[in-house]
Chain A
Amino acid sequence: TQLLEQSPQFLSIQEGENLTVYCNSSSVFSSLQWYRQEPGEGPVLLVTVVTGGEVKKLKRLTFQFGDARKDSSLHITAAQPGDTGLYLCAGSGGTSYGKLTFGQGTILTVHP
């Protein structure tokens, strides 16, 4: 069974601070996705990383896939209250297209 461990589980920061969320596993994933979920809504895809060592940037968000494709990180620069939400990493194995294993999520609260 593939498991994804996210840390921290909760993060409460002030506007303008930087933060990093980690997603770790003992399993290798063919790709890894990061989703953001707001209360009362379903998760929305932010990014997909596929290649080991890959770095992708989305405005103030930087995503990195580990060289061994077992871990990933999400770094937010100068967080804003609008970044508040549940951040989920999800890994896709190579043997079963479409099947995602989700981490338990990181609840981020950015205070103005």
Chain B
Amino acid sequence: AQTVTQSQPEMSVQEAETVTLSCTYDTSESNYYLFWYKQPPSRQMILVIRQEAYKQQNATENRFSVNFQKAAKSFSLKISDSQLGDTAMYFCAFMINNAGNMLTFGGGTRLMVKP
């Protein structure tokens, strides 16, 4: 079975600064996807970024980037130039490539961006 661990239940960052959220996972699979989802206080879960395990290049999406360390089974999310709208719960998630449709989520990190 796969497990996803987010060791930081809560974090805060000043507006315009950079913050990194950590995520580790455990799997014996070699072909999988990793995701970061954001859940603002309004509760709509939104996909932030995805990473295919076979790709060595770290995914980036505007101010969001990941540091994917496959050997260490680590998948951290870096948010640059933090904005007040980044305040949300952030969930790391894992999906095996050939399973088609099963996501395993971490417990989440609550991020507060302070003005």
A binds B: no
Binding site for A on B (CB under 8 A): none
